[in-house]
Structure 1
Amino acid sequence: MIKTEKQGLLQLLKIATPYLIITTVYAIIVLGLEEYFGDHIYKISGQIGSVFGLAVAFFLGFRMNSAYDRWWEARKIFGELTNNTRSFVAKKGNPTTIFQT
């Protein structure tokens, strides 16, 4: 059984509020500097997003492929275990004679 700590939304807000405030103040400062000094502070090319997206897509593709391979291997092992268990149970005779050599 999985037990989790049940904490409500208020507890989450107590933890997250300082981080939200700091992030908001930082964003306001950056945007204020951008408005005051002009567009030359940061100019991001449109290609950066596509290159980053392509890299993330490759990363996720390889990761999902390895996860599927692990799942398939576990499925084969579990199937073999099930078959062995069924054949062991299906054996007839005295159960004490099964383990004798």
Structure 2
Amino acid sequence: MNTWLLIFGMLAITFLTRYAFFAWPNLRFPRLVEQGLHYVPVAVLTAIVVPGMLLREGEWALHWRNAYLLAGVLAIAIAVLTRNLLATIAGGLLCFFLLRWAFGQLTL
């Protein structure tokens, strides 16, 4: 019962936050809130990606044979230098798979 209550509670909150923009189209946020909302996608993606880069199988993996960490650092460097999303994704994935293959973690 608690699981269903939690699911329906999350459904209601998600629906109301999305529906508010359609119900009240003239709703405007203060400038400070709008500026803060620009950082939400970056914060969410960082919270998803960084644990996968730093923690492998529940253990810290801060060593040179961590392909996830090395490819992530390279992808960050590509993003800073090129400011091109496609180059960042392609370069990061290429580096990741090449590192996994070089470390013997990927069989072809």
Normalising to structure 2: TM-score of the pair? 0.32
Structure with more contact order per residue of length (Cα contacts < 8 Å, sep ≥ 6): 2
Normalising to structure 1: TM-score of the pair? 0.33
Q: Which protein has the larger Cα radius of gyration, Structure 1 or Structure 2?
A: 1
